Structure 1
Amino acid sequence: MDSINIRFDHLESLNKKYQKFSGQINQDTLSNLDSLVSTFLSDAENARNENRLLRIGIVGQVKRGKSSLLNSLLFDSQDILPKAATPMTAALTKISYAEEPSATVEFYTEDEWQKVKLMAEQAKAKMENYQHQRQEFERKKTMKEKGVRPPVKPTLSNEEEASIELLEMALQSDVDINACLGQSKQISGVKQSSDLVSKLHEYVGSSGKYTAFVKSTELRLSIDSLKDIEVVDTPGMNDPIVSRSRRTQDFIGQCDVVLFVSYCGQFLDVVDMRLLAQSIPNKGIENIILIGSIFDSVLLDECHEYQDAPTAIRSITQKLNEAAVGAINQVCEQDGENGNQSHLMKTLQNSLPATFVSARWLDISKKLKAGEELSEEEAHTLKQINSTFEGFEFTAEILEVLANISRVETQVNEVRDKKEEILSSRLEGLIEGSMTGARSLLTQIKQDVEQKKKLLEEGDIESLSQKQAEHIKKLESGEVRVKATFEKYRISAEKKLRSLLAEIQQDAQGVKRVESQTGSRQESYETSHEVSDSTWYKPWSWRATRTEYTTHYRTVNYSYANVNEAVDKLESFVIDSSKALFKASLNAVNLALFRKDIKECVRGLLDFSDDSFDPENILLPLSNAIERITIPAVQLDMDHHIQTVREQFTSAQVEDDEINQLRNEQSRVVGVLLKDIARELETSIGLILQKMVKEEEQFIPSLTKDLKATVAQLEEDLKDKEARLNNYEEILYTLRNDLSEI
């Protein structure tokens, strides 16, 4: 890092060093040097700022010990993080440091809330229809109608159940929901972080009047342990809002490390694996720490199967890890059968073996060491664990080791160390690239100053003025040939860019395809039969019957499609299209070849055979004029397009007949995107062509201006020839030193 700092300081000093010679150095080149150094300093500062924050994402079901783990890991076991209200109402939460505690609460947009309402109303209609069918069935049975089968109770998805709960909470809240939708609420003016968390209960608490329609919260807490750390806590459910699910993936995708927390008692069950796929993006995540939480509960449940504590802990840990390997391998095999193994699952495989922790044990250990009184719940836990194995006492020291939080700390710190290596590498790349650019600019300055010094030493201003005037006249009369060269490249650029749209349209055909898969699940259904309801000593009841219902279970095969995968395809299409447009705009004009052709065109207009004329008098200004030719690179408005995609879908998975609806929707969205892309491509073509026309119009005037400036500079220099020669020599001495060092 020392060598990086030395070169960093050298680059930073370059601009200041040459500013004092601004009267003798070409202003365009000096401006380019200033821009290069400013850009480097800005990029380096951004790299350091980005790397300064260790971003930690936490994923797991609600009530699985996520908050307890983070409180133990980051906040010295204090109850800092707000607990989720219910699995259905947990909001996406981002937590960071600030000197003054504050929070931002973001509500659903109107479109998002309409989707919640629609899903809830459709789910309710399903249940009401079932109840109606059930009543009709009962009525027909009483009429002794034959052959009537009981209706099958519909199974609601997690998303549907969540929507119903959210809507019911909202209706009971006595709040003008429409006034909140699409808005955000700032909470500030509190002195303590604990006061801020208390104020948030209205927005994330189980009885909070705003809880139902809160999409996300950002907490900025004045807690030292949060310095240089940002935490993203995910909702921990199957989100009824696809746009929030995708935003969760965006936030998690920016994290350096993801803690995936699964309850040891149901380690990596089906719900966990589904949540994993929904919350963590399939690209970009390199560090996952797999954590089994509430290990103390599993040990208490299974301790009777083992003779001693070490054997129990070792065996349970091994059993849980084997279950984890099995669950992850099963998903990876399914990925393989579908033709690809996801990056996410590979990363999860690399996270094995899992780390099993108990935040409760760590809390007890700390209190025992500090001589503090245990809570009633903690005292009960300690009494239970100490009664499990005869003759073995779980001391504070043993509980601290078994809590295993230190292992998670070590894993997080390993990621932090890796970030430092990445930062060094990134800064090295920035410095090397900037050094190359600075070397090129300093060489240009050196050539320019050497030429000015040579002209001053010769001192023949009359001859120079005459030759420059001749060149300017020839350049202006030959402007048509220069414009023809610009025209040639302008036509070529337009053709290249227009051909891109055809390629994007071809790629769109693959995006329209929605892959379906088959699955199976257990469903319950009822059958009924009539049995006698008579009593022998009640003659009036001898013919009476009653209906008895029996619940049966069957395996149902179904087809399904993952909406997140469909959205992934669409978002990738937008990103790939944007990259293609950016690359095409960069390559629309081969600047190196274009500049070479322009230079040859200008050389053809002038006579370089005159031995009395130094060609550098025209070639240096020409090079400066050509270097000023730039072509803008353009990109799509990706955020707008991705948001458009996310707003089109509601549930995370569709089944059977709904798959065709998803395919139709996918095709429709692709059509919308293609229309927008075509419009933006036309705008981009217009921008590039306008820029080339502007460069064409400015080129000859710019070049002649530089030629005249050469004469003007010599006139100025001749007023104090000796002093100016010393100035030029000082500049050249400084340049030689800098060029040798970089």
Structure 2
Amino acid sequence: MINNKILEDINQLRETFEADIENAKQENRVLRIGIVGQIKRGKSSFLNSLLFDGKSVLPKAATPMTAALTKISYSEKPTATVEFYSKNEWNKVLEQARKIEQEEALYQAQLSEFQASKTEGIRRERGARPPQKPNHPEESKACFELYQMVQRSGLNVDEYLDKEHVIAGTDSNETLISDLTPFVGANGKFTPIVKSSSLALNLPGLKDIEVVDTPGMNDPIVSRGRRTQEFLGQCDVIFLLSYCGQFLDSQDMALLAQNIPNKGIEEIILIGSLFDSALLDEYSSYDSIQQALPSLTKSLNDQAQSEVDAVCRQDELNNGGQSHLMQTLQNALPPIFVSSRCYDLARKGDELSEEERHTLNRLNHMFDGFTFTPQILEAVANFNKVQTKLELVRENKDKIMAERLDNLLNGAERELLQKLTAIAEDITFKRNNLEQGDLAEAEKKQQDLVERINAGKAKVSMVFDKYRVQIEKTLHKVEQGIKQDSLSVKRINSQTGSREESYTTYSQVYDPELFRPSTWLSKKTVSKINYRTVNYTYANVQDAVQKLEDFVIETSDRLYQASSQAINIGQFREDIKQAVKGLFDFSDPDFDPEMILLPLSNSVDRITIPTINLDLDHHINSIRQQFTVNEVEGDEIQQLRAEQDRVVGLLLTEITQEVEKCGSDMLDKISREEQQFLPALIGDLESSVEQLRVDLANKEKALKEYSDILDMVEEDKRQLNS
């Protein structure tokens, strides 16, 4: 009688609440801080700057698919514990991966057959098209990547599943991190089967806190995502990282809404990451660094406030009042905008990597006559504000932890109240239908709804069409921008330099021997080494490679952002909902809105749209392989230009193909959603009538059960509100 999903949610709520309460009750426990955000938001760099003075203690995952949750605490003797997937979890990974393998094999076979028939001139039916490339869900693609990594490594997975691996007996943090690399490093042998890891490091700054570094909260691996949620429920404070260029975008808000609201977390600290990137993007709008820093910060603050205000307004419309999450976010404004890169540059002096040196050069070329000193870099990094905030959290540790139990209880009560309200609405609707007891009337109403929905297909299709056009425009615009940017990447600028060169001169000199008159007129040749300054023209290979790396990084991020923002999924769902609502007259006293609203919400919530994730790094090494020196001269400059042009061409070809594929995938997904949406909505309506048919077979018993359930729900709600 009660929706099974709601019952499962309540059971899950009970289990996590018990675990969270048990954790919060632990005596003398440390303050737990969670670091959360989407993938590619600089969480590991932020933590390295905040806790490890900029040292790369926390390795970056090779891809979002290999990211694992990391818990960091204090210990005099450094240790680590690695948790592998369970057999059941890995079997689910394999199931998804092999499904992709089979679908790809079938696609390749069909494609080969199509191409062969075309080559051989076999007559095909008019309008025959090549087979459609499979469109795999994000989780399936993530599972396939993990599966491929295991295949390449030759790892015998069964030896490690359902187990933990402990690293102990190390004498330093550095040794521990080195020993941990095979388990969490980008190319680690065991990385694909690691679900989470715990590090205990000998760092005084960790003595009274524990930090949870989460993978991207839009983790495609479900079991890892659940583990992240479990750990978040045990955190007292959350640092939310969002790229300051698109601060708190729709995906950030969706992640927050899904993971934070009812975890009893009252302290959220908003961090705008990658401030240096925003500065490099926007500096041309300002006359000086003195004008740029405060003006850009104000602009970003206004943008953050605007985003939160917009979400709050939508929240009030949907929920009849501002939710607890929205109030918490308003209290967290303004954000702290930081740059981990500038923090590193300020501390490393001359010991910079090529990538860091390139960033510093770009910063120093923003404004004529202005050079970034370590002090200015540290000011731009802005970590002093983060440290101040962290110290304030430490000072308020006892208060935060004392309120934790109440906050958890309030959060669980809010979530349970939402579930109970959903049950009450569902049961009330079913009971009202049953009390009216007119199956024929219910069937008639249901049929009328279906007819109205079918008659209004065009209005619903207009919404899908609108977003189809929006996707095409967005991706076309970003593709053109990428092509334009590639022109500057192709340019290899030659430079002039000077160097000291040695050269040898020869001369004839007399070489007589004193007591041999026959030699008095003889000469010999002598050489002399001379030095001169020579001007020459050269090109820097590293600059060429750095241009490519910057292009790849910026392009990947640009495509990810464009595809994730081509459709605001929340607005998309809302527009569809409004289009369907527009088919009915809610002021008609004979119209029962409950018959359509609940099924409509269920159908709309099922809609999802994929995003673009690119891996283009493999092209960059081709230039490094061609040129083993850092500088080239003469004819080699032209060779470098030709090679750069070739690699950029390869990148553009792959990017264009990926954008076209992603655009096709997104458009196909919208088409499938459109095809499935109305049938699913109609199916939910038919299920309601079928439930009435079943209930009418034993009407009195069903009515009593509905009334009993409502009485229990109302009593539970009353106790929660008392």
**TM-score (ref. length: structure 1):** 0.50
Instruction: State whether residues 256 and 415 of structure 1, in contact with CA within 8 Å, keep that contact through their aligned partners in structure 2.
Output: no
Alignment of 1:243-262 (within 5 A): 243-262=223-242
1:214-242 superposed Cα distances (whole Å, 9 cap, x missing partner):
11101111111111110101111533443
Alpha-carbon offset, residue 211 of structure 1: 1.1
1:146 aligns with 2:146: no
What letter corresponds to residue 168 of structure 1 in structure 2? Answer: Q
Answering whether residue 383 of structure 2 is matched by residue 383 of structure 1, we say: no
Q: Which residue of 2 aligns with 1:362?
A: 343
Distance 1:319 1:422, change over 3 A: closer
* Cα offset, 1:74, TM superposition: 1.6
Change (3 A) 1:286 1:339: same
Tell me the SS of whatever aligns to 2:81: strand
Q: How does 1:445-460 map to 2 (within 5 A)?
A: none
Q: Is the 8 A contact 1:294 1:359 kept in 2?
A: yes
The percent identity for this pair of structures is: 50
**RMSD of aligned C-alpha atoms?**
4.4
How far 1:253 sits from its partner (Å)? 2.4
What is the CA-CA distance between 1:326 and the residue it aligns to?
4.2
Distance 1:363 1:415 in 2: 24
**1:422/1:302 CA distance change after superposition, 3 Å:** closer
Distance change (3 Å), C-alpha of 1:147 and 1:325: farther
Q: Which residue is equivalent to 1:49?
A: 28
Contact 2:232 2:263 (8 Å CA) reproduced: no
Taking structure 1 as reference, are residues 109 and 227 closer, same or farther at Cα in structure 2, changes over 3 Å only? same
Structure 2 Cα separation of the partners of residues 383 and 393 of structure 1: 9
Residue number in structure 2 paired with 1:178: 158
| Aligned position for 1:87 | 64
For 2:74 and 2:135, locate their aligned partners in 1 and report how far apart those are by CA, in whole Å: 43
| Corresponding residue for residue 331 of structure 2 | 350
Q: Is the 8 A contact 1:72 1:362 kept in 2?
A: yes
Q: Work out which of the residue numbers 82, 98, 115 in structure 2 matches 1:121.
A: 98
Larger Rg: 1
Aligned 1:613-624 pairs, distance under 5 A = none
In structure 2, the partner of 1:66 is: 43
Q: Please, what TM-score do these two structures have when normalized by structure 2?
A: 0.51
- Cross-structure match for 1:535: none
* 1:85 shift after superposition: 2.7
Secondary structure at 1:384's aligned position in 2? helix
Does structure 2 retain, via aligned residues, the 8 Å contact 1:259–1:289?
yes
Partner residue, 1:100: 77
Given residue 286 of structure 1, which amino acid in structure 2 is its aligned partner? E
1:219-368 aligned within 5 A: 219-236=199-216, 238-280=218-260, 282-339=262-319, 342-368=323-349
Question: Partner of 2:621 in structure 1?
Answer: none
Structure 2 counterparts to residues 296-695 of structure 1, below 5 A: 296-339=276-319, 342-368=323-349, 373-422=351-400, 561=605
Deviations 1:188-209 (A, max 9, x none): 1111111111111111112222
- 2:525 corresponding residue in structure 1: none
Classify 1:425/1:506 alpha carbon distance in 2 versus 1 (closer, same or farther; 3 Å).
Answer: closer
Match of 2:174 in 1: 194
- Give distance in 2, aligned partners of 1:345 and 1:122: 40
Decide whether the 8 Å contact of 2:217 with 2:225 is kept in 1: no
> Do residues 218 (structure 1) and 198 (structure 2) align?
yes
In the alignment, is the contact (CA less than 8 A) between 2:336 and 2:385 conserved in 1? yes
3-state SS, counterpart of residue 364 of structure 1 = helix
2:147 to 145, 153, 167: 167
Amino acid at match of 1:220: A
Q: Name the counterpart of 2:632.
A: none
Structure 1 unmatched ranges of 5 or more: 1-42, 428-502, 526-552, 565-653, 664-742
Any idea what SS the aligned residue of 1:88 has?
helix
In structure 2, how many angstroms separate the alpha carbons of the residues matched to 1:208 and 1:382? 31
Partner residue, 1:616: none
Give yes or no for contact 2:31–2:401 (8 Å, CA) kept in 1.
no
Offset from partner CA, 1:282-308 (integer Å, 9 cap, x none):
431212222122211221232222211
Distance 1:414 1:144 in 2: 73
Q: Give the aligned length.
A: 426
Cα 1:204/1:274, change in 2 over 3 Å: farther
Specify the code of the residue in structure 1 equivalent to 2:365: S
In 2: Cα distance, 1:56 partner to 1:86 partner: 24
The one-letter code of the counterpart of 2:375 is E
Give the AA of the match of 1:94.
K
Match of 2:66, SS state, is coil
The 8 Å contact of residues 361 and 399 in structure 1, kept in 2 or not, is answered as: yes
The answer to whether the Cα contact below 8 Å between 1:59 and 1:279 also exists between their aligned partners in 2 is no
